[in-house]
Amino acid sequence: MKVFYEHDADLRVLEGKRIGVIGYGNQGRAQALNLRDSGVSVQVGNLEDEYAKTARVDGFSPVPIADAARDADIVMILIPDEVQPAVFKSEIAPHLHSGQTLSFASGYNVHFGMVVPPKDIDVIMVAPRTIGRQVRIAYEGGGGVNADVDVWQDCSGAAWAVTLAIAKGIGCTRAGAFHTSFATEVELDLFSEQALWPALFECLVTAYEFLIEKGYPKEAVVLELYASEEPADIFLQMARQGIFEQMRFHSPTSQYGVLSRRAGATGGNAQLRKRMEEALDHIRSGRFAAEWRDEELAGYPALHRLRKQALEHPINAADRTVRSLMPANA
């Protein structure tokens, strides 16, 4: 796979160009600040609300989304995926003109055909692989985060140069920008969210319920399962050393326990693979995108109900108790 680094990208491509950052949330704020610190001219487009206030505090002068879309050479769409089709239709598309570049931080809407860009502009993707907060923290520390990059439509012949310059301005070429595709980016992202993370969350909550039933103190259980930050350290070392290589940091007892019980730990891989198959099929067919669009149109009733249910689980009280016992939070 082609991976782009600092020497592959030239920030001079963005000289004299204005970047319109649409949305000042997780990614919008981090990317706008990084690009500005990289010497790029940035205008923030946002509704007049709390996000706009934050942009002002950060030294930007936010304008309405339509103005930012009209005035920018490169329009970076950094609002939530599910609201992009409506905002694109009403606030962005009517103001686009030939010669502009439309940039996405996920392949979601273009890949599923929910945003159809005009034929006479460049369409690119620079999708950081982690949360906006980390995009900013890594950049400020002199590093960066990985990104998926791709070009969907190259009218100008310069789309790749712009893609890599943006990746560099955000800090992503410091870590490596991977050339995947709009489809791969979004399908893998949704797969993690819908097949991998639910299984991990369910394992943790089931383990909590089981151990409480067996009479263990809730503080000790939560500490063991995740509050000590040991799992976070394990994941960090998986990324840095390799999934099994990092095991050398653990005791032989731990290594033997994990390796001897790994097979069959999920109650049979056939069941797990079946669930993964169903999830991927739902994603690839566009049925998930349609489900999520309907949920957004209805005002997120299921999301609100599910969030409420999750936050009412007793594990949340245990979380609070454990956190109150940590010196940093006491």
106 binding ligand NDP? (CB under 6 A): yes
What is the 8-class DSSP label of residue 176?
-
Angstrom distance (rounded) from CA 177 to CA 174: 8
Angstrom distance (rounded) from CA 193 to CA 155: 33
Stretch that binds ligand NDP, among 13-21, 35-43, 100-108, 241-249 (CB under 6 A): 100-108
Closest distance to ligand NDP from the beta carbon of 89 (Å): 11
Write the interaction track for ligand NDP spanning residues 124-163; mark x where CB under 6 A is met and - where it is not.
Answer: ---xx--xx-------------------------------
For residue 211, count other CB atoms closer than 10 A to its CB: 17
Closest distance to ligand NDP from the beta carbon of 106 (Å): 3
User: Using CB atoms, what's the residue nearest to ligand NDP?
Assistant: 25
Residue 24 · residue 32 · CB < 8 Å = yes
Please select the residue that binds ligand NDP; options are 6, 81, 148, 187, rule is CB under 6 A.
81
Please select the residue that binds ligand NDP; options are 23, 117, 144, 171, rule is CB under 6 A.
23
User: 4 forms bridges with which residues in the sheet?
Assistant: 177
Closest distance to ligand NDP from the beta carbon of 81 (Å): 5
Stretch that binds ligand NDP, among 18-26, 212-220, 234-242, 297-305 (CB under 6 A): 18-26
Please select the residue that binds ligand NDP; options are 76, 87, 102, 221, rule is CB under 6 A.
87
Stretch that binds ligand NDP, among 21-29, 152-160, 243-251, 302-310 (CB under 6 A): 21-29
Residue closer to ligand NDP by CB (options 49, 202) is 49
Please list every residue from 24 through 43 that binds ligand NDP, using CB under 6 A: 24-28
194 binding ligand NDP? (CB under 6 A): no
118 binding ligand NDP? (CB under 6 A): no
Pairing of strands 3-4, 177-179: antiparallel
- For CA atoms 122, 73, 136, 303, the dihedral sign is negative
Indicate the helix (H) or strand (E) that contains 242.
none
Angstrom distance (rounded) from CA 23 to CA 78: 5
Residue 188 · residue 196 · CB < 8 Å = no
User: 102 forms bridges with which residues in the sheet?
Assistant: 75, 123
Angstrom distance (rounded) from CA 118 to CA 100: 10
Angstrom distance (rounded) from CA 54 to CA 171: 22
64 binding ligand NDP? (CB under 6 A): no
Residue closer to ligand NDP by CB (options 24, 208) is 24
Q: List Cβ neighbours of 163 (8 Å cut-off, separation of 6 or more).
A: 103, 124, 125, 126, 149, 150, 151
Binding-site ranges for ligand NDP (CB under 6 A): 23-28, 46-47, 49, 51, 78-81, 83, 87, 105-106, 108, 127-128, 131-132
